Copies of this chain bind each other. A is one copy, B any other.
Amino acid sequence: MTGTRGYHHGDLRRVLLAAAVRVIEESGPAALSLRDLARRAGVSHAAPAHHFGDKSGLLTALATEGYRLLAEALHAAGGDLLDRGVAYVGFAVDHRAHFEVMFRPDLYRCDAHELVAARQRAGDALHSGVAALPEGRPTAQDPQGDALAAWSIVHGFATLWLSGALPPRVGDDPRAAARDVIHRLFPRP
């Protein structure tokens, strides 16, 4: 509730995070500037400090939000491991700013309270998908190894896609390409 143009912005925290997402999507996390965010929000350059303390505080909030969104996306994808893997890649593509920050621990305080909790939940969502694999497969006695392999392959595909390192031949539909790749790790009976 605000929109009022007064001394108080009213929604600064959310506006700053949204602006940060836009900047990172356009130019990467290295180009992020608190003063630039403040300018975009129409407030003084010191206003962000009140909400986030410092730059790493803002990125901590962004990473926390990212882990929450990731956990949501994984749950929404249903119980199938293949679908969850595709959802992981889809999250990275749809929220590339969050994703890029989440796995750069040098940019934020990775021991922050809320962040640790959110990451835990996302990790649980990731692992519980492996439990739904068929029982008869060869590696059924080591579900944690399966989980690590699944995480590696979707995370690697997502990272390579975002970095632009993949050849054009892969196409322009990350979810379809990801599905094909994951399928090689867990072939369907």
In the complex, what residues of B have CB within 8 A of residue A105's CB?
Answer: 163-165
- Chain A residues proximal to chain B, CB less than 8 Å: 27-31, 103-107, 110, 123, 138-139, 144-146, 148-149, 151-160, 163-167, 169-170, 177, 180-181, 184-185, 187
- Each complex incorporates copies of this chain amounting to 2
In the complex, what residues of B have CB within 8 A of residue A166's CB?
Answer: 148
Contact partner of A148 among B29, B106, B163, B177, CB < 8 A? Answer: B177
In the complex, what residues of B have CB within 8 A of residue A29's CB?
Answer: 30, 106
Contact partner of A149 among B107, B123, B153, CB < 8 A? Answer: B153
CA distance A139 to B181 in the complex (A): 11
A169 touches B187 (CB 8 A): no
Contact partner of A107 among B30, B110, B145, B154, CB < 8 A? Answer: B30
Contact partner of A106 among B27, B156, B184, B187, CB < 8 A? Answer: B27
